[in-house]
Amino acid sequence: MSHAFLQNAWYVLIGVLLVGYAVLDGFDLGVGVLSPFIAKNDKERRLLVSAIGPFWDGNEVWLLTAGGALFAAFPHVYATVFSGFYLALMLVLYALIVRAVSFEFGHRVESAKWRRAWDWVFFAGSLLPALLTGVAVGNVMRGVPLDARGEFAGDFFSLLNPFALVVGLAGLSMFIMQGAAYLTAKTNGDLARRARGVGIWAWAALVALLIVAGILVVADSPERLDNYTRNPIAYVAPLAALAFLILTRVSLQKGTGGKTFLFSSLSVAAIMGIWGVANYPYLLPARNVAAYGLTAFNASASQKSLQTMFIIALVGVPLVLAYTAYVYWIFRGKVRAHEEHY
């Protein structure tokens, strides 16, 4: 296998891992953000936790694996991203930690105040990663200031630019839509009806924010459109996103739970695909000097390292996919009231 093939393969593989995270952890983060607003009593809040209980920790592994793959395949990118985005990543990490703690501590004391307090921790621990992950994606798409050595030359506040914030809100809307779609498939009655209503609003917000983000890309970072003008086949990603978003909206209106979640998941994957196509071959574009940008070709590990890891991935990824499918099959169907203390 040539070095160029392996560099491209790892660009795609890391993209697949990030899509897996957005689709799977997207729904359980979305459920966490929705929980204070659609659950009307303690029983319904426990039902929401039970709906994601068997999956949430496995879903987060996709993000950890993507980080590990980035470290091994593109160590220079890993070093720059984790030093430049350090504060934001620490906030995401702490939010995920307290969110995990809320699962374990929320039901330990028979006190309404105790439970409500941990419910709000669960909400905040879901909201922050959903928002900041989108802000990070916005910065990676727009580009960040890098020096000649490819190291981050900005500060935390330079990451809070209008484009990144719009993408952050789009990411939050996308996760809320995904969470609502998941709940329409896993719950019944009034809870499912409320989830469907919120999902329609989140869908509208996502579409509006994607349009705004697209306008900002044209005005602020037109080079992100180069791959689309050079290769018309690249338009498959935005066309797929458009088709799946329409199908998601129709399914939300009809209340077809399983199809709604399927189309919402495909919408998330296609939207992530738009980002991957637009950025290729850049993993971290430089906003100040294009030549300083870190690509799949100038920031990768050695050919031998990439090849060894690629062989491991060929063995390991199917096993992970099979295990994930097995877990979802075991816990398929609607969540029931007696499972509220999962």
Q: How confident is the model at residue 50 (pLDDT cuts 50, 70, 90)?
A: confident
Residues 193, 194, 195: CA angle, nearest 5 degrees: 90
Segment 106-124 mean pLDDT: 85
Which pLDDT does position 73 carry in this prediction? 94
Whether 155 contacts 140, CB under 8 Å: no
Please determine, for residue 338, whether its predicted confidence score (pLDDT) is greater than 80. Answer: no
Which pLDDT does position 40 carry in this prediction? 85
- Residue pLDDT, tens place only, 312-322: 989 988 888 89
Which pLDDT does position 238 carry in this prediction? 94
Q: Which tokens in the block code for residue 54?
A: 């068997």
φ, ψ of residue 112 in degrees (nearest 5): -65, -40
Which pLDDT does position 337 carry in this prediction? 64
Segment 328-333 mean pLDDT: 88
Which pLDDT does position 189 carry in this prediction? 87
pTM, to two decimals: 0.92
Segment 30-37 mean pLDDT: 92
Which pLDDT does position 39 carry in this prediction? 87
What torsion do the CA atoms of 284, 289, 292, 296 make, to the nearest 10 degrees?
40
Of 171-175, 238-242, 331-335, the poorest mean pLDDT is in 331-335
Whether 238 contacts 227, CB under 8 Å: no
Please determine, for residue 340, whether its predicted confidence score (pLDDT) is greater than 80. Answer: no
Which pLDDT does position 88 carry in this prediction? 85
Which whole-number Å values give the CA distances from 292 to 143, 157, 285, in the listed order? 11, 21, 8
Percent of the chain scored above 90 by pLDDT?
59
Segment 81-105 mean pLDDT: 87
Q: How confident is the model at residue 341 (pLDDT cuts 50, 70, 90)?
A: low
Q: Which tokens in the block code for residue 212?
A: 């705004």
- Angle, in degrees to the nearest 10, between helices 162-186 and 257-279: 150
Smallest CA-to-CA distance from 17 within 282, 228, 269 is with 269
Instruction: Give 267's DSSP letter.
Output: H
Which pLDDT does position 115 carry in this prediction? 86
Segment 92-98 mean pLDDT: 90
- Residue pLDDT, tens place only, 171-218: 999 999 999 999 999 998 889 999 999 999 999 999 999 999 999 999
CA–chain centroid gap for 159, Å, is 18
